[in-house]
Amino acid sequence: MELFSFEFFSALLTIVFIDLILAGDNAIVIGLAARKLPKDQQTKAVIWGTVGAVVIRAVATLLVVYLLDIPWLMLAGGILLLWIAYKLLVDQNDHDIKAGNTLWQSVWTIIIADAAMGVDNVIAVAGAAHGHVLLVIIGLLISIPIVVWGSTLFLKIINRLPWIVYVGSGVLAYTAAKMITHEERLEGIFASNPLFKWSFMIVVVITIILAGLWKNNTRSKQGATEKSRESH
């Protein structure tokens, strides 16, 4: 991938969008962890907790970038990211985060919770970067203000426009499909037939979105049935 080429900026845009879509959980974690602190300490907890979380995520992402060179790991990472894309659509997002009573307790809670929940972001960003370390670094630098200031706003937008989550899941599914087609052991199959490659990627994205829609519709119908029974 050439520096500052169309492919470079396309991958960077994908990384930024992934950060936006997956930043919602980070906003919730930050808010829950810092909720017991005085107002003047909440901002400090957000900043230091985010800085610590981003440093850990940067190391993890760079490590995954290099690990993806190992045979079949690109395939495994792609399959895992497909599961993450599906979970993004159907998860209820229940969080049980203990609020810290002191500044550094809250900071530590944010770092630990983000590290535990950041696996999806790490794999997605590493897959979108396709081994380009500079892309990972730029993406992470962009993610800091997104997480600190933009994620709460983005959560409100998602609540008003739920379909954005489906777009985000589609981007993750596309990134996952691209990872699978870039698996060294399978690349010959896809490289020799571009039509098959793009058909495969389109089918993967559509399948994930339809699976999420089906699951959510089924859950809504079950909820409506239970409410109807309770009312009688």
- Tens of pLDDT along the chain (232 residues) come to 567 777 888 888 888 777 777 666 666 666 667 777 787 787 788 778 777 877 887 888 888 878 777 888 888 888 988 987 888 788 655 555 566 678 788 778 777 766 666 666 777 778 888 778 888 788 777 766 666 665 556 556 666 777 888 888 888 888 889 889 888 888 788 888 889 999 999 999 999 999 999 998 888 888 777 777 776 6
Is 69 domain-assigned?
yes
Predicted TM-score (pTM) of this structure = 0.70
* 231 within some domain: no
- Residue 130 in any domain: the answer is yes
Count: domains in the chain: 1
| Residue 175 domain boundaries | 6-216
Asked whether residue 89 is domain-assigned, the answer is yes
Token pair for 92: 């209820």
Domain assignment present for residue 228? The answer is no
- Count Cβ neighbours within 10 Å for each residue of 86-107 and write b for 16 or more, e otherwise: bebbeeeeeeebeebeebebbb
Name the helix (H) or strand (E) containing 46.
helix 39-67
- Six-digit token pair at 72? 């079949």
